[in-house]
Amino acid sequence: MTFTSRRTVLTALAAAAVSGPLLGTVTASPAYATDEFDIYTSNTDLYTKLAGQEGSDFARRYKRHELFDHDYTARQPYNRTTIMAMHGGSIEIGTSELCFGIAGYHPATLAPLNDGLGVHDYWMFEGLRSSNNRELHVTAKNNDDHVALSMARSSLNVLSLHGCTAAQAGTADPRAVVVGGLNERFKTLLKNEFTRAGIAWRDGNETPDLAGVNPDNPCNRTMLGKGGQLELTTELRAAMFTVNTRAGRAGSTTEVFDRFVRACRTAVATLHQDPDQVIL
């Protein structure tokens, strides 16, 4: 399999192709399959050239859960998994909200979910502009944000969330997710849970541009050298919200959102039971 760069995808006008909830207006941008149209060569390049515009044009949000161990003999819990949305906000719409949900937090209130599956660390980069958010896209393999990379490298697992079009996914059902990354065990668990949740999926091995197999992709820069990546079609993401705007999404999630989040969280919880998930 060729290590092509992760495709650059902008979410489209969500209401245009979806028979589902009433959606807000989202300005569409062309979708590209590589990083050749990226303006910035890295996150550092973007931060440098857009200095002073954080909070207006873009934002970075993350949470590393406080852990400490002062016991001479007992072992304390540790976080194994980080959830990432590298193109959140209005770049690849819906991925910020999913990042919160899969990490174990309600996207509107940030209250922990009461599902017994715990919480995970998370990191996201978000486009905040009213238009032209595609310009803020930095392809995953070029993400050099020091916090994002440090979180990935100190995690056993990363689950990275992205957006694509149905045409790029190549699925019969336009509401689908492409399951990628280098961790085949993680992929199998995710696919099994998506099947149980009634969510259409395709293996990333069948879509090289969406496969998430580049070792420089932060999803694979973990302690195990492998991770998971999910590419959700525009139609699937649109079905997850009744108000599909940056301001409206967090408070208008649907049962499709809930099913997807639950599937991912269950897969992560199952993965954590594997022998390679133990840090000595």
Please say if the pLDDT value at position 7 is more than 90.
no
CA distance linking residue 111 with residue 104, whole number of Å: 8
Question: Which residues, in sequence order, are CB contacts of 112 under 8 Å at separation 6+?
Answer: 104, 105, 106, 119
Position 29 scores a pLDDT of 42
Q: What is the mean pLDDT of the chain?
A: 89
Residue span of the structural domain in which 177 resides: 56-64+79-274
* Residue 44 belongs to some domain of the structure: no
Contact indicator for 249, 238 with CB cutoff of 8 Å: no
In this prediction, residue 74 has a pLDDT band, given cuts at 50, 70 and 90, of confident
103 or 2, which is more confident? 103
* Residue 48 belongs to some domain of the structure: no
Q: What is the DSSP letter of 60?
A: E
Contact indicator for 124, 84 with CB cutoff of 8 Å: yes
* Residue 126 belongs to some domain of the structure: yes
| 203 three-class SS | strand
Position 18 scores a pLDDT of 34
Position 62 scores a pLDDT of 98
* Residue 27 belongs to some domain of the structure: no
CATH code for the domain in which residue 239 is found: 3.40.630.100
Which whole number is the average pLDDT over 255-270?
98
What percentage of the chain has pLDDT greater than the value 90?
A: 82
Position 77 scores a pLDDT of 81
* Residue 177 belongs to some domain of the structure: yes
* Residue 43 belongs to some domain of the structure: no
| 233 three-class SS | strand
* Residue 24 belongs to some domain of the structure: no
Position 96 scores a pLDDT of 98
What amino acid is encoded at 30 in this protein? Answer: P
Position 35 scores a pLDDT of 67
CA 94 to chain centre: 9
* Residue 41 belongs to some domain of the structure: no
164 or 75, which is more confident? 164
Please say if the pLDDT value at position 100 is more than 60.
yes
Position 137 scores a pLDDT of 97
Q: What is the pLDDT of residues 15-61, one digit of tens each?
A: 333 333 333 434 334 444 456 689 999 999 999 999 999 999 999 99
CA distance linking residue 22 with residue 225, whole number of Å: 41
Position 30 scores a pLDDT of 42
Q: How far apart are the first and last CA of the chain?
A: 33
> Which pair of tokens denotes residue 5?
């760069």
Q: What is the pLDDT of residues 200-255, one digit of tens each?
A: 999 999 999 999 999 999 999 999 999 999 999 999 999 999 999 999 999 999 99
The tally of domains found in the chain comes to 1
